[in-house]
Structure 1
Amino acid sequence: MGREARHRLPKELRGERPRSERRKSERSASGNAAPEPPAPELSAIERVRSERLALERPEPERAAPEIPRSERPIRDREGRQRVSPQSAFRERAALERRPASDPARPDSPTPPPPPRRRRYLVWTVSLLIVALTLTTGTLVALSYTDSGRDGRDRFGPKFDTLPAAPLPSETFGFYRVDKDADGRWGLRTPDGRPFYSLGVDAVRPGEDTDRATGTCTYCAAMSAAYPDPADWISATTKRLGTWGFNTLGAGSDYAMFGPSFAYVPQLDFDGSWQPGGQSGTTHDWFDPAFADHAADVVRAKVAPLAVDPYLMGWYLDDKPNWGLGQSGSTTLLEAYLALPDGAPGRLMAEQYRGDPQGFVRAAARRYFEVTTRAVRQVDRHHLILGFRASLLSTPVEVVKEAGSWVDVFSVDAFQTTDEAKEFAATLGGSSVVAAEPDLRAFHELSGRPVLVSGFTALAADAGLPNTVPGAQLVDAGQNQRAERYAQVAQTFFDAPWIVGVHWFRYVDQPAGGRTPDGADGNVGVVGLDDQPWSVLTDRMSAVNAKAPYHDGYATPTP
């Protein structure tokens, strides 16, 4: 056979060993395996004949040798090379992951499923999210009163017809205050509806101890009438709703009533602040420890309620003393100059000698800065309602400074005698806000809307002394008392800067004077025997129905 013809034959017929056999021999040699014996010499014709017979003879089936993972071949598209099932699966998966040349083909393979561990993780996270959502929704639904079936806002008022002011399109989540389309200041419920706060202070089952007898007359009457405390809660809730009230005022046990009313806790930053080692009643707000005290108050009282939508807002204090008559002084500057040497407040007061108004402004700035910032560290949602200022003895500088820190300015607007007004005017001179029936001055000085945080009326026919504190007007009987409520409340309703009126308080004070201050007045809507003063409460129901944004308040569900 010629050279050219021989080159046209396959390598096997030319007597050359296949490349796979040569590599196998090389691997065996590198592994120190014994060399194979040389094949006997055959003629070219015999060798071709034997190799043809070998190709035509069927090969017996035998297990494929184990091939390392890195050397396993991938089957080509013509299927000319045999591969293991594992290799075929991997090749098919690789081909399926390749982008199709024609994405519109109907037989395009779907993406392979994610690894088992990732699928388990996805399912676990999904189930947790669903469970959390259902639980949160259930709790929120249970915490709210019924809403929507009779037009009632779940936070208090019911609208038989929509008020003149348009409702905002969005909801707030917490109580807010703003002006309506007519320029009237008003509260807004967390649902976004207009709201006028009508409240009663000190709604609680455990009342005052008579300091003369050491007993609690109201406690005994309540226990006899309501063996189960839940019955007292149900009866009181129904009473307040029937009389047109929608808010639990300062000093109330709001935790007992659940989501039936809006409520306004009092934090008592100044009232509970007693600097160690100092005599008298002057509280040094410039002491660095006052800020630490404020942080403690916030942790204890604000943090647990920081996301409660029924909380209308925070009172910072109840009439802190701005120096008028404090420690024998007539100004706050004199009171601070009387502090011990080295006290932070005295060091500050030394810088304001001869400028009492300037020092009042500096002290007010320090008070509001410490207290409001402490609240906002924990609660950025709820309103700050001021400090329940006195109608007669609040300095002008304090009201002005408050406008930069509070959302609403609260005032206790008790009806006082002319003698009390004259005496209060001598304590602070021109620095004291002039008392007006509609509280206009407090609004104009602060630039904020006003909440009447407490007012009341007393009658001589209740069988109580009405002697302490002795500065309030006393009417002859319950009819006159009810008429005073109607007149004063209507004055407040007509003032477009007043956003609510709270009555002081739910139960009368004991005849022997309450512990510790001796207050003994007919201030309650119910007597010490738990019986309502019906003439007063009937008139309250009619008057409260005329409050702004009010077409009749729904009775809260007991």
Structure 2
Amino acid sequence: MVPYDTGFGGDASIARSPATGSVFGVGAVVATTAGTSGEASGDAPHDASGDASGDASGDAPGGRPGGRHARPRAQRPPRPLRTRLPGRRFRVFGVGGLVAVLLGGLLTASLVLAPVFGAGDDGRKPFGAGEAAPAAVPPPVQGTGYYRVVQEPDGRWMFRTPDGRPFYSVGVNAVRNQEDLERDTGRCPYCEAVSSRFPNPRHWVEATTQRLDEWGFNTLGAWSDSDLFRGRFAYTPVLNLSGSAPGGAPAWDWFDPAFAAHVADVVRVTVTPRSTDPNLLGWFLDDELHWGPDGVAPTTLLDEYLARPEGTAGRTAAEARRGDPQGFLRDAAQRYFEVTATAVRGADPNHLILGVRASSHTTPPEVVQTAGVFVDVFSVNAYRPTPEAEAVFAQAGGSVVPAAPDLRDFHTLSGRPVMVTEFSSRAAGSGSPNTVPAGLPVEATQDARADRYSEYVGPLFAAPWVVGHHWYRYADSPPGGRAEPDDGQNSNFGLVSVDDVPWEPLVSRIAATNAGAPGRG
């Protein structure tokens, strides 16, 4: 029995396999590590107009430090006691490793047309690539009491709030006041800064709520402690139903009945209690699952299952597909989504299934097509690698879904609307080494980071199949590298520094860009 972090403020002891490592947004090459998710609950649908909720300001107790950049860290009081170690699990991307991808054809899926679908509805209406976004804000419609996703009469896909208003999800990952510990020192620089400025956590919540409102965000993305923000934002927990073992292979044998039992346990503990929460946007089943060779595990999923002990369910399933890696990939994806999505829908028919936060550069088309049969929204973690890293992907060859700026191929293959669930940028001069993860650009200034945000989001706003985008992350990682998961991430990905100082002009430009999101007017 291993404590399973529900991510909602408490642990429940249930049988599970150690689930470690997943592919970072641009691929995996260097290392695989483990971490616990930091999800929570209790957030209301947020008005897309961005009106502030709450009466506190960024100048709440302690004052709001000024300046364009974070001040150097000084000696601070001991860090506050952490009740859990929230974090996300991924493999660090690097350009020096081999990036191999699965070869494969396309799975033929039976698609049922429907203009509107929500949780529990298997219908879909693939949207024609190239159709333009609507010129006007869609009118309110009859609410259902829960978030749903619809295709408007003009073809635009949109979320609808529980009361029927159009809603494009603009989110931030890892919004929490208990941040990552530093690898070598064991300190939590962000925790120290926050506890010094906001002795009462509610004051941090009010100040952070006002910031997110002002910057145009309406959703708490993955790894956020949404228990602290009850009634303020939509929220999107990650269930981590499978994960990956060290080396990349699935930690669970998806064909083994024990996996279905494990999923049922997680669903009972985490999903069932929230099945009637109107503030829950939807569930992520997992995060950046491993589907084959990606530079960490150089073998196909078929090879990995053939290496399992003889007589196990997965080995038996693999033997039936020996010599047909693409066929086995389809079988494995079918089994994974059938077990997980069926369990979640059975316990919670009210909420959307938002997919598995697929890595944009390592996800085979067979997986995208199969997922489309089971999920309501296809979620993609889509980073923009350096040219050198792109060259590594190109040299690897194989068949993965192209990560175009508007992500149209993910929509075309899945038949579902698409949501970007991770993207980010970082800059020099921020006090962060920006060496981990490798393979991502380091901009010269915060102004350049702001440019990258606008350039990235523009094609998403114009793509009628995109229903949201979530930025990674709220606060920078510790300069000394984070300890949990022990991957050493040390980058300036945050909207704020480890001293809780907003990065300007990044956040001002983000606010101006987010004001143009679909559904706002």
Take 1:463 and 1:279, find their aligned partners in 2: how far apart are those partners? 32
- Alpha-carbon deviation of 1:468? 1.2
Q: Distance in 1 between matches of 2:326 and 2:249?
A: 22
Alignment of 1:98-137 (within 5 A): none
What is the CA–CA distance in structure 2 between the aligned matches of 1:233 and 1:526, rounded to whole Å? 14
Give the C-alpha shift of residue 169 in structure 1: 3.8
Residues 165 and 182 of structure 1 are in contact (CA less than 8 Å); yes or no, is this contact kept in structure 2? no
Aligned to 1:155: 46
TM-aligned CA deviation for residue 343 of structure 1: 2.1
Q: Quote the offset at 1:144 in angstroms.
A: 9.4
Matches for 1:353-368 after TM superposition, within 5 Å = 353-368=322-337
Cα distance in structure 1, aligned partners of 2:198 and 2:251: 43
Distance 1:224 1:478, change over 3 A: same
| Cα-to-partner distance string for 1:140-191 (whole Å, 9 max, x where unaligned) | xxx997xxxxxxxx6322399x982542542111111111121111111111
Partner deviation per Cα, 1:498-529 (whole Å, 9 max, x = no partner):
00010000000111111111111100000000
State the shift of 1:364 in Å. 0.4
Aligned partner (choices 311, 335, 340) of residue 371 of structure 1: 340
Question: May I ask how many residue pairs the two structures share in their alignment?
Answer: 396
Report if the CA contact (8 A) 2:50-2:213 is conserved: no
Following the alignment from structure 2 to structure 1, what is the Cα–Cα distance between the partners of residues 249 and 404? 32
Distance 1:293 1:169 in 2: 39
> In the alignment, which residue of structure 2 is the partner of 1:242?
214
What amino acid sits opposite 1:206 in the alignment?
Q
In structure 2, distance between residues paired with 1:321 and 1:424:
16
Q: Which position in structure 1 is the counterpart of 2:6? A: none
The answer on whether the counterparts of 2:46 and 2:219 sit within 8 Å (CA) in structure 1 is no
TM-aligned CA distance change 1:327 to 1:234, over 3 Å? closer
Q: 1:490 aligns with which of 458, 461, 472?
A: 458
How far has the Cα of 1:365 moved from its partner? 0.3
Q: Is the 8 A contact 1:163 1:550 kept in 2?
A: no
Aligned to 1:290: 259
Distance 1:280 1:488, change over 3 A: closer
Query: Which one of 420, 425, 434 corresponds to residue 389 of structure 2?
Result: 420
Corresponding residue for residue 301 of structure 2:
332
TM-score between both structures, scaled by the size of structure 1: 0.68
Identical amino acids, percent of aligned pairs: 54
2:141 & 2:428 partners in 1: Cα distance?
A: 50
**SS of match in other structure, 1:403:** helix
CA distance in 2, matches of 1:159, 1:244: 5
Q: Distance in 1 between matches of 2:299 and 2:249?
A: 14
Amino acid at match of 1:157: A
For residue 502 of structure 1, give the secondary structure of its aligned residue in structure 2: strand
Structure 1 residue 507 corresponds to structure 2 residue 475 = yes
Q: CA RMSD in A?
A: 2.2
User: Which residue number in structure 2 is paired with residue 320 of structure 1?
Assistant: 289
Corresponding residue for residue 104 of structure 1: none
The structure with the greater share of residues assigned to helix is: 1
User: What SS is found at the alignment partner of 2:505?
Assistant: helix
- Corresponding residue for residue 187 of structure 2: 215
Shift of 1:331: 1.7
Determine the structure 1 residue equivalent to 2:516: 546
Contact 1:392 1:421 in 2 (8 A): no
Higher RCO (C-alpha 8 Å, min separation 6): 2
Alpha-carbon distance in 2 for matches of 1:327, 1:222: 37
Look up the equivalent residue of 1:333 and give its one-letter code.
Answer: L
Asked if 1:197 corresponds to 2:169, the answer is yes
Match of 1:115 in 2: none
Q: Distance in 2 between matches of 1:220 and 1:280?
A: 37
Alpha-carbon separation, structure 2, partners of 1:279 and 1:478 = 34
Moved more, 387-396 or 317-326: 317-326
Residues 279/227 of structure 1: CA separation in 2 closer, same or farther (3 Å cut) = closer
Q: CA deviation at 1:540?
A: 0.7
Q: 2:43·2:229 contact (CA, 8 Å) conserved in 1?
A: no
On the 8 A contact 1:166/1:181 being kept in 2, the answer is no
| 1:33-44 superposed matches below 5 A | none
Residue 305, structure 1, aligned to residue 250, structure 2: no
Residue matched to 1:138:
none
Residues in 2 aligned to 1:328 and 1:201: alpha-carbon distance in whole angstroms? 27
1:403 corresponds to = 372
Give the Cα separation in 2 of the matches to 1:435 and 1:144: 31
CA distance in 1 between counterparts of 2:142 and 2:387 reads: 48
Per-residue deviation at 1:400? Answer: 0.5
Match of 2:438 among 458, 470, 474: 470
> Which residue pairs with 1:107 in the alignment?
none
Deviations 1:283-313 (Å, cap 9, x if unpaired)?
3111110000000110111011111111000
Name the CA distance, whole Å, in 2 between partners of 1:373 and 1:449.
Answer: 20
8 Å Cα contact 2:138/2:519 also seen in 1: no
Q: Larger radius of gyration, structure 1 or 2?
A: 1
TM-score between both structures, scaled by the size of structure 2: 0.73
Give distance in 2, aligned partners of 1:270 and 1:511.
30
SS in 2 for 1:437: coil
Match of 1:556 in 2: none
Deviation at 1:477, TM superposition (A): 0.8
Partners of 1:371 and 1:166 in 2: CA distance = 33
Question: C-alpha displacement at 1:239, in angstroms?
Answer: 0.5
- The alpha carbon displacement at 1:321 in A equals 0.7
Distance 1:327 1:513, change over 3 A: closer
Q: What amino acid does structure 1 have at the position aligned with 2:454?
A: A
Residue identity in the other structure for 1:494? A
| 1:525 counterpart residue number | 495
Q: Tell me: CA distance 1:231–1:269, structure 2 relative to 1, closer, same or farther (3 Å).
A: same
SS at match of 1:474: coil
- Which residue number corresponds to residue 23 of structure 1? none
- Equivalent residues of 1:329, 1:335 under 8 A apart: no
Q: CA deviation at 1:279?
A: 11
The corresponding residue for 1:432 is 400
Instruction: Note the alpha carbon deviations across 1:30-58, whole angstroms, 9 max, x for none.
Output: xxxxxxxxxxxxxxxxxxxxxxxxxxxxx
Residue 437 (structure 1) shift: 1.1
Change (3 A) 1:528 1:327: closer
**How far does residue 282 in structure 1 lie from its aligned partner after superposition?**
4.8
Whether the 8 Å contact between 2:380 and 2:419 is mirrored in structure 1 is yes
Q: Which moved more, 1:341-350 or 1:210-219?
A: 341-350
1:69 aligns with none
CA contact 2:50–2:214 (8 Å) conserved in 1: no
Secondary structure at the aligned position of 2:231 is classed as helix
Distance, in Å, in 1 between the alignment partners of 2:442 and 2:245 is 35
Deviations along 1:350-378, whole A, 9 cap, x unmatched?
Answer: 11122111111110000000100110111
Residue aligning to 2:238: 266
* Residues in 2 aligned to 1:496 and 1:279: alpha-carbon distance in whole angstroms: 34
